[in-house]
Amino acid sequence: MIDREALVLARIERAVALLQAHLFDEPPIELAKLAEAAALSPFHFHRLYRLVTGETCGQTQSRLRLAAGAKHLSAAASVTEAALQSGFSSSQAFAKAMKRQVALSPSQLRDDPELLDNIINRLSQPASGNQANPQGWLAVELVSLAPMHLITVRTEHLYPDLFDTYTRLFEAVGGPQHLEAIVGMPRDDSAQQAGVFDSALLLSEAVAGVPDDFFWQDSAAGLYLRTRHNGSFEGLEAAVDNLYLTLLGMDALWPADTPCIYHYLDDPEMVDEEQLRTDIYLPVIQTDSQ
C-alpha cells in the first residue's frame, strides 16, 4: 500500500528545495513552477502544500529569509548587512518582518547569542502541518459529473465580496427564473482568502447582454469525490481541507488537474445559517500507483 501522505510530503519537499534555490528572487518564483516541481496540479498544490507544512509558500519564503538574516547576524554582520544579504530592501523592512515573526528585533537577537541560536533553529523549521486533520474520515462518495455550461465572474478574493458578486450575477441573468444551480470554483487555495475564485450560475438557457467581465465556461467532466458541508460558509474551507486529507488516505484516487466545485444548495437570505448546505466536489482520477 502506498503511503499517500508520505508521497505528497516527498513532492512538497521538491517544491521547497526549488523555493530555497530561488529564495531571494524578485519577483518570487511563480507558484506554477513550484507546483510543477512537486508534480502536482496547480489547482491543488497550494492547499496541499499548506496542509503538509502548516504554512503557505509565501510564509515559507518569509520564514527562510528571516532565518538567513538571523544567520548573518550570528556571523557578526550588522543589521543592515544582514537585511540586504537576506533579500530585504532595508534594515527597517527586516526589523519589521522579524518582529512580526518572533516578537523581537534583530538588534535584540544580535545582543543575545543564545537566544539568536534558538531563533535560527525555530525559523529553519516549518510550522506543523495537517492543522485541519479531521476527527475520522468525512462521509464521501465518488460521483461522475457531466460538464456544466456556466456564466461566470472571476474575482481575486473569496470573501468578503462573495454575496455582492452573486447579486451581480443574478441581476445580469434577470433573476432566478432560469437558475438551476449556484456554483463556486476556487482556482487555488481559497482558504487564504486571496486566491482567484469563479462565482458562477448554471442556467436552463443562455442569456445575452451580460457585462464585459462576465464569461461562459464549461466545468470539467469526470470523477469527483463529494462531501456535504452543513452550516455556515465560514466553516466551508475547513471542510474542504478535511476532504483533501481524507483523499490522501485513499489508495486508488488522486487529485485531477481541474478545480474543485462548490454547489451552494441554499440561499443564505432564506435559510438559517446553521441549516445551509454546500456540496463540495474534489476532482479525482483513479490510479493504482503514483
Structural domains of the chain sorted by starting position, each given as residue range(s) with its CATH number in brackets: 4-123 (1.10.10.60), 141-286 (3.20.80.10)
Ramachandran quadrant class, 83 (left: phi over 0; alpha: psi -120 to 50; beta: rest): alpha
Mean pLDDT per segment of 10 residues, for the chain of length 290 residues?
Answer: 74 94 91 94 91 89 94 90 92 95 94 94 77 57 96 80 86 87 89 79 89 94 96 90 88 92 92 94 82
Q: How many angstroms from the chain centroid is the CA of residue 102? A: 24
pLDDT at 192: 64
User: Tell me, what's the pLDDT at 133?
Assistant: 46
Give the CA angle between residues 270, 275, 278 to the nearest 5°: 90
Sign of CA dihedral 271, 273, 275, 277: positive
Comparing CA positions, the residue from 197, 226, 228, 200 lying closest to residue 284 is 226
How far is 25 from 39, CA to CA, in rounded Å? 22
Res 153: pLDDT: 94
136 CB neighbour count, 10 Å cutoff: 8
Three-state DSSP state, 98: helix
Q: How far apart are the two ends of the chain, measured CA to CA in Å?
A: 11
DSSP 86: T
pLDDT of 243 reads 93
Q: For residue 132, what pLDDT is reported?
A: 45
Residue 247: other Cβ atoms inside 10 A = 21
The alpha carbon of 172 is separated from its chain's Cα centroid by a whole number of angstroms, namely 29
Residue bearing cell 456535504:
228
Length in residues, the chain? 290
Reduced to 3 states (helix: H, G, I; strand: E, B; else coil), residue 185 is strand
pTM, to two decimals: 0.86
Classify residue 23 by its DSSP letter: T
